[in-house]
């Protein structure tokens, strides 16, 4: 990891944002608030999303066609579920102007690079990015300018990427309130597998388990959710298509971390079955230290 | 489930609280705020806890010996880790006055009833209770009077329990801001296994898995915790001894729910491995409905 070059210009003449969900719309809000673009063009497939975006005023112009949005843009932000990144790159490629910077906001990086890079013409710079921020809400009405404040944005440019392009993307994320770090894409995918993808998978699982409960038990699980379940349901309310794509795109790292988790869960299950209170207490004491570290890191 | 008899007197001449951790101290704060007791006596094993409690002023008198605290009390609240409930009951039994009400705050009910009931003399009423509220903090300094507001308190009296005693305990919990419900103790233990015990076990597991990571990866997991992991670390910072006791005391229900969870996790793991995006998306869509129900139930 390294701090990317400082001093890039955070302001762009024209920014195109392809996809106006939670992240795309929040970035547009933040760019508008910071006056970081001469024009913000948004692309969305549905008429309803485009109308909502124009009504809320976080974009200046709406396009149904990603290529029409990307045409003439200095910065193109791909903000669609990661499984659609390749198709978007293919669609916008002919419209990209020389020297344009293409970036994204996906939660998986290597597979996005593999899907996007082959489509981009020479002279266009790819600077993959992952703002580690979000809520369980989705859609163009969920966005807000403050989403990225105090959060990390991880850039994963491949070796040889134009440093000026990396610096400008870093400057943009800093201008919307984030701290910026750079990382190798595969390493990023492993870190996120444990900090984000596995927690989401587990939350989805346990909430799904609750949906299979006998009816009375399920109603009571909802009624008495305050005991811990509530936090899981919030995580498990995240966008289904976005998360489907993340698990498929980061399969290897997720399966690796899931394997480790499963071994540990089996060990605790065994401790419960055989009444090994000492093992349980030792385990539960050890996990407290991690919480303290997170509080100290200012990420709590 | 049924609403317990309304109209019980929430005020007691003397309340003894055995154990001054998060729940015990919060209840003391709330009783003091509401002027619900003539005197609040607190029992704690360590001199430090007793001194802290007296300094913060949420009890009127501190005792090292639970029996000394319980003597002459109209209401005795056992607020220790559930595994210690039986020992406390045995200790206080000789000091209990006729007509006294004994209650508790444990997250498991059947095992507490089994451990406490045999020690209580005739003419003393046992009204087991579980306030479904908490934070990841513990100890006498963590308590605050508002902890129970808007939260459920579940009473699990066995058949034949004096209705007046149940009504008074219900009235106390309502007076500190809770909604009160009654439930069969074994049924309570099954509901809590899915809504609280299993979520805690899983949070403890995944945070423990993270503590085993290679050093760099672990530092980064802390740094980028915002992606979901953070919520798990908060849950996994809960009191180790309290949770050790809960898992041991509610073994059967926890293992039952853990078995169901494990089957579901295996199914999702398989869907990821074989790229079954349809199965993932369907599962993730279903879990959203539960979140909506919780928001509608006002427990979000």
Q: Does B136 sit within 8 Å of A229, measured CB to CB?
A: no
- Residue A5, domain member (yes or no): no
- The encoded tokens of residue B198 equal 């299993």
Q: What residues in A contact B238, CB-CB < 8 Å?
A: 284
What are the tens digits of pLDDT across the range B151-192? 999 999 999 999 999 999 999 999 999 999 999 999 999 999
- The encoded tokens of residue A68 equal 């029409």
In chain B, % of residues over pLDDT 90: 83
For residue A14, the surrounding DSSP H or E stretch is strand A12-18
Q: Is A143 helix (H, G, I), strand (E, B) or coil?
A: coil
Q: Do A100 and A75 fall into the same domain?
A: yes
Q: Does A290 sit within 8 Å of B210, measured CB to CB?
A: yes
- Residue B6, domain member (yes or no): no
Q: What residues in A contact B3, CB-CB < 8 Å?
A: none
Model confidence band, residue A227 (pLDDT cutoffs 50, 70, 90): confident
B32 CB-contact burial (10 Å; exposed 0-12 / middle 13-18 / buried 19+): middle
CB B235 within 8 A of CB A289: no
pLDDT of residue B5: 58
Q: Do A73 and A129 fall into the same domain?
A: yes
d(CA B17, CA B15): 6
Task: ipTM value, please give it.
Answer: 0.90
Q: Do B166 and B191 fall into the same domain?
A: no
- Residue B5, domain member (yes or no): no
d(CA B254, CA B258): 6
Q: Is B101 helix (H, G, I), strand (E, B) or coil?
A: strand
Choosing among B197, B209, B277, which should be mutated to test the A contact, i.e. which has the most A CBs within 10 A? Answer: B209
pLDDT for A2 beyond 80: no
- Residue A114, domain member (yes or no): yes
Residue B257 sits in a domain whose CATH number is 1.10.3660.10
Q: Do B29 and B173 fall into the same domain?
A: yes
- The encoded tokens of residue B118 equal 């045999």
Choosing among A193, A284, A296, which should be mutated to test the B contact, i.e. which has the most B CBs within 10 A? Answer: A284
Model confidence band, residue A5 (pLDDT cutoffs 50, 70, 90): low
- Residue B4, domain member (yes or no): no
Q: Do B114 and B254 fall into the same domain?
A: no
What are the tens digits of pLDDT across the range B241-279? 999 999 999 999 999 999 999 999 999 999 999 999 999
Q: Does B196 sit within 8 Å of A228, measured CB to CB?
A: yes
Q: Is A40 helix (H, G, I), strand (E, B) or coil?
A: strand
Q: Does B136 sit within 8 Å of A212, measured CB to CB?
A: no
Q: Do A229 and A103 fall into the same domain?
A: no
What are the tens digits of pLDDT across the range B106-122? 999 999 999 999 999 99
Q: Where in the sequence is the domain holding B141, given as residue range(s)?
A: 12-183
In chain B, % of residues over pLDDT 70: 97
Minimal CA separation from B68 to chain A, in Å:
30
pLDDT of residue A298: 76
Question: In which residue are the tokens 């966005």 written?
Answer: A143
Q: Does B228 sit within 8 Å of A200, measured CB to CB?
A: yes
pLDDT for A94 beyond 90: yes
Q: What residues in B contact A224, CB-CB < 8 Å?
A: 132, 152, 154, 191-192, 195-196, 299
- Residue B72, domain member (yes or no): yes
Final residue of a structural domain among B118, B148, B183? B183
What are the tens digits of pLDDT across the range B12-36? 999 999 999 999 999 999 999 999 9
Q: Do B249 and B263 fall into the same domain?
A: yes
What are the tens digits of pLDDT across the range B290-299? 888 888 887 7
Final residue of a structural domain among A183, A211, A240? A183
Beta bridge partners of residue A56, listed in sequence order: none
- DSSP state, residue A2: B
pLDDT of residue B1: 47
Other Cβ atoms within 10 Å of B59 Cβ, number: 29
Q: Are strands A152-155 and A129-131 parallel, antiparallel or unpaired?
A: antiparallel
Q: Do B179 and B191 fall into the same domain?
A: no
Q: Does A207 sit within 8 Å of B290, measured CB to CB?
A: yes
Q: Do A156 and A214 fall into the same domain?
A: no
- Strand segments, DSSP code E, in chain B are 12-18, 37-43, 61-63, 75-78, 101-104, 125-127, 129-131, 152-155, 179-182
Q: How far is CA A82 from CA A87, A199, B145, in A?
A: 10, 18, 46
- φ and ψ of A2, to 5 deg: -155, 150
Q: Do B228 and B89 fall into the same domain?
A: no
What are the tens digits of pLDDT across the range A14-73? 999 999 999 999 999 999 999 999 999 999 999 999 999 999 999 999 999 999 999 999
The total of structural domains in chain A comes to 2
Choosing among B212, B214, B272, which should be mutated to test the A contact, i.e. which has the most A CBs within 10 A? Answer: B272
CB A166 within 8 A of CB A4: yes
CB A101 within 8 A of CB A120: no
- φ and ψ of A220, to 5 deg: -75, -35
- Residue A112, domain member (yes or no): yes
- The encoded tokens of residue B155 equal 């009473």
Residue A107 sits in a domain whose CATH number is 3.40.50.720
- Strand segments, DSSP code E, in A241-285 are none
Minimal CA separation from B30 to chain A, in Å:
19
Q: Does A194 sit within 8 Å of B226, measured CB to CB?
A: no
Q: Does A201 sit within 8 Å of B264, measured CB to CB?
A: no
**Cα A227 to the center of its chain, rounded Å:** 28
Query: Of the candidates B221, B233, B255, which has its C-beta nearest A269's C-beta?
Result: B255
Q: Do A143 and A33 fall into the same domain?
A: yes
Final residue of a structural domain among A183, A216, A248? A183
Q: What residues in A contact B196, CB-CB < 8 Å?
A: 224, 227-229
- Residue B7, domain member (yes or no): no
B160 CB-contact burial (10 Å; exposed 0-12 / middle 13-18 / buried 19+): exposed
CB B206 within 8 A of CB A289: no
Q: Do B127 and B249 fall into the same domain?
A: no
Nearest to B116 by CA among B144, B80, B165, B73: B80
The separation between the first and the last C-alpha atoms of chain A, rounded to the nearest angstrom, is 22
What are the tens digits of pLDDT across the range B47-61? 999 999 999 999 999
Q: What residues in B contact A248, CB-CB < 8 Å?
A: 272, 275, 277, 280
- The encoded tokens of residue A256 equal 């690796």
């Amino acid at each position: 990891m390294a701090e990317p070059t400082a001093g890039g210009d955070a302001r762009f003449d024209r920014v195109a944002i392809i996809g106006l969900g939670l992240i795309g719309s929040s970035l547009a809000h933040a760019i508008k608030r910071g006056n970081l673009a001469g024009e913000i063009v948004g692309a969305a497939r549905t008429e309803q999303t485009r109308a909502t975006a124009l009504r809320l005023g976080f974009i200046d112009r709406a396009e149904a066609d990603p290529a029409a949005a990307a045409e003439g843009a200095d910065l193109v932000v791909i903000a669609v579920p990661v499984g659609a990144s390749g198709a978007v790159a293919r669609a916008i490629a002919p419209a990209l102007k020389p020297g344009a910077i293409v970036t994204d906001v996906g939660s998986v990086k290597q597979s996005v690079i593999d899907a996007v890079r082959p489509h981009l013409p020479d002279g266009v710079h790819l600077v993959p990015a992952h703002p580690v921020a979000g809520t369980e809400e989705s859609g163009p009405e969920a966005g807000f300018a403050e989403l990225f404040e105090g959060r990390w944005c991880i850039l994963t440019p491949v070796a040889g990427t134009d440093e000026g392009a990396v610096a400008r993307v870093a400057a943009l994320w800093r201008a919307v309130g984030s701290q910026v770090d750079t990382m190798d894409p595969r390493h990023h995918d492993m870190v996120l597998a444990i900090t984000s993808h596995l927690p989401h998978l587990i939350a989805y699982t346990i909430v799904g388990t609750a949906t299979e409960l006998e009816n009375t038990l399920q109603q009571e699980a909802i009624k008495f959710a305050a005991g811990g379940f509530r936090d899981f349901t919030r995580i498990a309310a995240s966008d289904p298509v976005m998360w489907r794509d993340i698990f498929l795109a980061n399969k290897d790292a997720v399966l690796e971390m899931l394997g480790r988790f499963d071994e540990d869960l089996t060990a605790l299950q065994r401790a419960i079955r055989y009444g090994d209170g000492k093992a349980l207490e030792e385990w539960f004491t050890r996990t407290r230290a991690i919480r303290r570290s997170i509080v100290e890191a200012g990420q709590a």
